[in-house]
Chains A and B, each alone.
Chain A
Amino acid sequence: MTSRLSAESEEKPEEVYKPSRATRVFMVWRKLKKSKLAVVGFGTVLLVSVVALLAPIIAPYDPEWRGYTSRPPSMEHWLGTDAMGRDMFSLVIYGARISLYVGLGAVLIEVLIALGIGMIAGYFGGKIDEVLMRITDVVLTLPTLMLLILAVSMFEVRGIHIITMVMGLLGWPFMARVVRSEFLSLRESTYVEAARSMGATSWRIIVRHILPNILSTIIVLATMDIPWYIFYEATLTFLGFGDPFSFSWGVLLKKGYLYLQTAWWMITFPGLALFFTSLGFNLFGDGLRDALDVTERGR
């Protein structure tokens, strides 16, 4: 009796078990399924994404359409109408689009910058690390609101895009720190040493060895940052720094706030949408962390 892996015969052709990419994704999905909460989270994320994507098809009314103002939920307007007569349901649906755009956009900017800076600081260390970390510290101290106002007044771009960019440009330090510390520790791994002993260049080590190992951490962080930015935009809007011409959920919340006592539906439904989306993303991110981790820990 020999181990299942001992080489015995000279059978040709050589058989190799090569799982395709699809199989690997499937295995992650299987692990994800184990947690009911994660599946709920994933379902929510999927729902919101589909809604955002298919907004023009799903929404019963065009968001600019004006009808009777401040009507409570009814058969024609499932979620009522707002102070200007727009259909709440359609507003919330289109709002999903905007909010998701904001969240994804900010996260994209954040991840790109954080990866770049964190990678270089963490891998090369020394003076480069010092300089980059000082830059990071400076960015952390920049006041968001002032920059927002500055940017809005300087650029001829729609407010919602400015907000997205500013949030991303000011939010990367946290992730950069994580990336950097991961690089610092993984740089000392034995397999990195092995790669160097084979003559691998720094670039190869960074991209082929370290990056894939931190990817799961980054993905999870990014996934959990999306709702954070959506919330942040809502907060900024609420404080009066938003883009009044868009209809992100934040804007809807701000506008609906005035009618809290008279027309509760104007703030409640966007609020619920925001809440459940955030929850969904967070649950999904949590589940994702466990699902991606299992590959490392094995049986």
Chain B
Amino acid sequence: MSEPLLSIKDLKTYFFTAEGVVKAVDGVHLKIDVGEVLGLVGESGCGKSTVALSTMRLIRHPGKIVGGEIRFEGENLLDKSEGEMRKIRGGKISIIFQNPMSSMNPVFTVGSQIAEAIKLHQNAQKHEIKEKVVEILDKVGIPSPRERMKDYPHEYSGGMLQRAMTAMALSCNAKLLIADEPTTNLDVTIQAQILELMKTLRKEFDASILLIGHDFGVISELCDKVAVMYAGKLVEHADLTTIFKEAKHPYTQALLGSIPRLDVETERLRIIPGMVPRLINPPPRCRFYPRCEYAKGICSKEEPQLIEIGQDHSVACFLYGSTEKPDHQHR
């Protein structure tokens, strides 16, 4: 079993605000193997984007990575200097964001921005760079790339920009591509295009992908494994089929039950009562406790740890690995 490409252990990223310490990411373990696609699922505020930014060491004041380690290709990224990180960012680890229009500088042409990325991470001559840009744009299916590279971001549609961004991210031989909700703002048919593109490029560049999102359908299209986050903690981690067929954590189950499905007939959708908790000074208990229908005594007193309950399947829940019976009277 070779070493994983990315291994995050006990990552803690806190935001020190005037109102208190927001524990946005509170002890998260993740790993991605070479060539694997991991989906990180959760609702807004659960900390998944913070995990991505922490991996890239892009967390700014008042946020701070206060603990844990992030091992990439065997080295702890948290030990690296800013200069070393800059070489890695955009090079070995690339990130694309939700809204491509705001990730691109509106006053520079698309071609020049891709060229800048290439210049930073590869040694190439000026004319070589230009050819590379054309090659990249062509690869992602932008028509007439030689002319389009002189266009500005606002002259591209959302889908085309996202394709260009994906190309830019992978162009510098990225080993790991982090995609933070890349298709959330796009139409369904464009989304399909982007996902197909990512599948193709991933095979070609043999890259791993950390796909962050809240749409289970999108996750299913691309991912081999899925990790579910809730309120700053990782609650379940399993491969794709297991998550959908045998989800064990109550939150995962409830989440899957609350989305309208094309393949399943549902009269009423399952709702999760209550609200997502505030992450400021959370009490030491399972974060999902107030909304869980299977909660029992210990859930309100201790935080469950992530334990392996099967082949590549881990859960953080006291229903598993503990002997107490669930207390159905809870409410």
Contacts and interface: CB of A to CB of B under 8 A. Distances in A.
Interface of A: 1-3
Contacts of B273: 1-3
Contacts of B274: 1-3
B331 interface: yes
B290 interface: yes
Interface residues of B, number: 6
Given A1-B274, A3-B273, 8 more contacts: A1-B273, A1-B290, A1-B291, A1-B331, A2-B273, A2-B274, A3-B274, A3-B275
Contacts of A2: 273-274
10 contacts: A1-B273, A1-B274, A1-B290, A1-B291, A1-B331, A2-B273, A2-B274, A3-B273, A3-B274, A3-B275
A277 B71 CA distance: 61
A3 B291 CA distance: 10
A158 to B, nearest CB: 53
Classify the secondary structure of A's interface with B: loop
A8 to B, nearest CB: 12
Interface string B269-282: 00001110000000
Contacts of A3: 273-275
Nearest to B275: A3
A1 B276 CA distance: 12
Contacts of B291: 1
Nearest to B295: A1
A1 B331 CA distance: 5
Interface in B283-310: 290-291
A1 B274 CA distance: 7
B62 to A, nearest CB: 16
Question: 8 closest A-B pairs (Cβ-Cβ)?
Answer: A1-B290, A1-B274, A3-B275, A2-B273, A3-B274, A1-B331, A2-B274, A1-B291
B64 to A, nearest CB: 22
A1 B330 CA distance: 9
Nearest to B331: A1
B281 to A, nearest CB: 16
A255 B331 CA distance: 80
A3 B331 CA distance: 12
Contacts of B290: 1
Contacts of B331: 1
Nearest to B290: A1
A2 B274 CA distance: 5
A9 to B, nearest CB: 15
A1 B293 CA distance: 10
A288 B290 CA distance: 40
B234 to A, nearest CB: 23
Nearest to A4: B275
Nearest to A1: B290
Nearest to A5: B275
A143 to B, nearest CB: 41
A3 B273 CA distance: 7
A3 B274 CA distance: 5
A1 B273 CA distance: 7
Interface centre among B275, B290, B331 (most CB of A within 10 A): B275
A3 to B, nearest CB: 6
Contacts of B275: 3
B22 to A, nearest CB: 13
A293 B275 CA distance: 27
A2 B290 CA distance: 9
B28 to A, nearest CB: 25
Nearest to B289: A1
A180 B274 CA distance: 43
Contacts of A1: 273-274, 290-291, 331
A2 B291 CA distance: 8
A109 B291 CA distance: 58
Nearest to B273: A2
B153 to A, nearest CB: 24
A2 B293 CA distance: 12
A186 B290 CA distance: 40
Nearest to B292: A1
B290 to A, nearest CB: 5
A5 to B, nearest CB: 9
A2 B271 CA distance: 12
A2 B275 CA distance: 8
A7 to B, nearest CB: 13
A1 B289 CA distance: 10
B296 to A, nearest CB: 15
A186 B274 CA distance: 34
Nearest to A2: B273
A65 to B, nearest CB: 55
B292 to A, nearest CB: 9
Interface in B164-203: none
A275 B242 CA distance: 74
A131 to B, nearest CB: 34
A30 B252 CA distance: 43
Nearest to A6: B273
Interface string B44-71: 0000000000000000000000000000
B276 to A, nearest CB: 11
Nearest to B330: A1
A1 B275 CA distance: 10
B287 to A, nearest CB: 13
